């Protein structure tokens, strides 16, 4: 089958996006700072999870200058529960770099790539969405759409580059491709009859939708069972420690019994009543946490008493809130 006409395909996506785009908060003004924050939050995180975090984060850090002037702890606390916490640190570092070295968020990809934490995709997203520049983007959704439309076995970036060169509005084209991947061209059971690219899609018109994109090798997962200890003082505060491990670094954690996952100070605790169990996922780790009430003779170094009502003021992973529901 002949390759799709790039200009025709670009126009079809732009028209579809103009009619069917979701009303998202960063689309109200396309302010570069809001676009940047949204793109970082959306990396490896579902839209419905991001939206409430985005609003709270922008309320706490309403401008680039406000974010640049914040501490890592303040930013991590506002990010707590969103996962992939290195993103938050790099976002703050990037904001500080822009304020001190550039003065404003740049409009072009080469300059955007000089900012800490900004890679090829994020640079293209900021340039095209905030400034309507002809910059390609390829995330998981876009890669799936292009893989099917062009029947690609490999890299989708050359096709994304060629397509955006034909765009009337790179902003609408790139967002349209992402929306198509999220709403129409889904990994399973895509709604091909509703797709504006159905006439051009090689995979659809050759009966090979399920063959694209080619499956990736699955990462090995680890099943872990980790005891957690809930230690409270007379004021109801909870004993926590700050991790220095590879995962969830610099976050406040409940005392636990598996240093292979969460590094930190050791605590001589006496387990008491079983409060419950719950499941949690961290990258390729599938964890079953077993929560016990516990008591200690004395507080060890590296541990702090944290007021549950002020938990939002310290950076902590979402599993902590899951555990505290057992005593709410």
| pLDDT tens sequence across 22-50 | 999 999 999 999 999 999 999 989 999 99
Q: What is the pLDDT of residue 302?
A: 79
> How many helices, marked H, and strands, marked E, lie in the chain?
14, 6
Q: Is 214 helix (H, G, I), strand (E, B) or coil?
A: coil
**Taking the model in full, what pTM does it have?**
0.83
CA angle 78, 79, 84 (to 5 degrees): 165
For residue 328, what pLDDT band results from cuts at 50, 70 and 90? low
As a whole number of angstroms, the distance between CA 328 and CA 315 comes to 20
Q: What is the pLDDT of residue 65?
A: 98
Q: Please give the helix or strand (H or E) that residue 280 lies within, else none.
A: strand 270-282
Task: Give the residue among 132, 133, 123, 135 at the shortest CA–CA distance from 98.
Answer: 123
Domains of the chain plus CATH, in order, are: 6-211 (1.10.340.30), 222-327 (3.90.79.10)
As a whole number of angstroms, the distance between CA 18 and CA 175 comes to 10
| pLDDT tens sequence across 98-112 | 999 999 999 999 999
Q: Which tokens in the block code for residue 68?
A: 């640049």
As a whole number of angstroms, the distance between CA 253 and CA 240 comes to 5
Cβ atoms < 10 Å from Cβ of 147: 22
Statement: residue 323 has pLDDT above 60: yes
Q: What is the pLDDT of residue 42?
A: 96
For residue 249, what pLDDT band results from cuts at 50, 70 and 90? low
Q: Which tokens in the block code for residue 236?
A: 């109801």
Here the contacts of 242-251 (C-beta below 8 Å, separation 24 or greater) are: 242/302, 242/304, 247/282, 247/283, 248/85, 248/282, 248/317, 249/85, 249/86, 250/72, 250/73, 250/76, 250/85, 250/315, 251/76, 251/80, 251/85, 251/315, 251/316, 251/317
Q: What is the pLDDT of residue 258?
A: 61
Sign of the dihedral defined by the CA atoms of residues 53, 55, 60, 64, in that order: positive
Residue indicated by tokens 């895509």: 190
For residue 210, what pLDDT band results from cuts at 50, 70 and 90? very high
As a whole number of angstroms, the distance between CA 80 and CA 318 comes to 7
* Average of per-residue pLDDT across 246-261: 69
Cβ atoms < 10 Å from Cβ of 258: 13
Task: Give the residue among 301, 293, 291 at the shortest CA–CA distance from 323.
Answer: 291
Q: In this structure, are strands 238-242 and 252-253 parallel, antiparallel, or unpaired?
A: antiparallel
For residue 309, what pLDDT band results from cuts at 50, 70 and 90? very high
Statement: residue 263 has pLDDT above 60: no
Q: What is the pLDDT of residue 256?
A: 82
Q: What is the pLDDT of residue 195?
A: 98
Q: Please give the helix or strand (H or E) that residue 170 lies within, else none.
A: helix 170-179
Residue 202: CB partners within 8 Å, gap ≥ 6? 1, 3, 4, 148, 149, 150, 151, 208
Active site amino acids:
39
| pLDDT tens sequence across 211-243 | 999 988 877 888 989 899 999 999 999 999 887
For residue 285, what pLDDT band results from cuts at 50, 70 and 90? confident
Q: What is the pLDDT of residue 303?
A: 87
Q: What is the pLDDT of residue 248?
A: 61
* Average of per-residue pLDDT across 159-167: 98
What is the average pLDDT value for the chain, to the nearest integer?
92
Q: What is the pLDDT of residue 247?
A: 56
């Amino acid at each position: 089958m002949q390759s799709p006409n790039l200009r025709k395909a670009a126009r079809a996506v732009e028209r579809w996006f103009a009619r069917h785009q979701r009303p998202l908060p960063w689309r109200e003004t396309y302010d570069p700072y809001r676009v940047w924050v949204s793109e970082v939050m959306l990396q490896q995180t579902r839209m419905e999870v991001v939206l409430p975090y985005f609003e709270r984060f922008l309320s706490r850090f309403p401008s680039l200058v406000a974010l640049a002037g914040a501490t890592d702890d303040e930013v991590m606390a506002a990010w707590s529960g969103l996962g992939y916490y290195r993103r938050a640190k790099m976002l703050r570092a990037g904001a500080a770099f822009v304020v001190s070295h550039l003065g404003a968020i740049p409009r072009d990809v080469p300059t955007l790539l000089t900012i800490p934490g900004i890679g090829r995709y994020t640079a293209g997203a900021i340039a095209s969405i905030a400034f309507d520049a002809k910059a390609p983007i390829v995330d998981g959704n876009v890669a799936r759409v292009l893989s099917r439309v062009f029947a690609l076995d490999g890299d989708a970036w050359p096709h994304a580059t060629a397509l955006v060169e034909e765009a009337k509005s790179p902003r609408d084209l790139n967002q349209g491709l992402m929306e198509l991947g999220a709403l129409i061209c889904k990994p399973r059971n895509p709604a091909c009859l509703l797709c504006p690219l159905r006439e051009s899609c090689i995979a659809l018109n050759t009966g090979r939708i399920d063959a694209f994109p080619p499956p990736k090798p699955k990462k090995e997962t680890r099943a872990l069972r980790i005891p957690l200890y809930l230690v409270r003082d007379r004021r109801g505060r909870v004993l926590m420690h700050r991790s220095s491990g590879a995962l969830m670094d610099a976050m406040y954690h409940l005392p636990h019994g598996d240093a292979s996952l969460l590094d930190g100070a050791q605590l001589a605790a006496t387990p008491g009543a079983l409060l419950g169990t719950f499941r949690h996922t961290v990258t390729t780790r599938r964890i079953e946490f077993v929560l016990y009430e516990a008591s200690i003779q004395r507080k060890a170094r590296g541990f702090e008493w944290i007021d549950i009502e002020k938990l939002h003021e310290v950076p902590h992973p979402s599993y902590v809130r899951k555990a505290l529901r057992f005593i709410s």
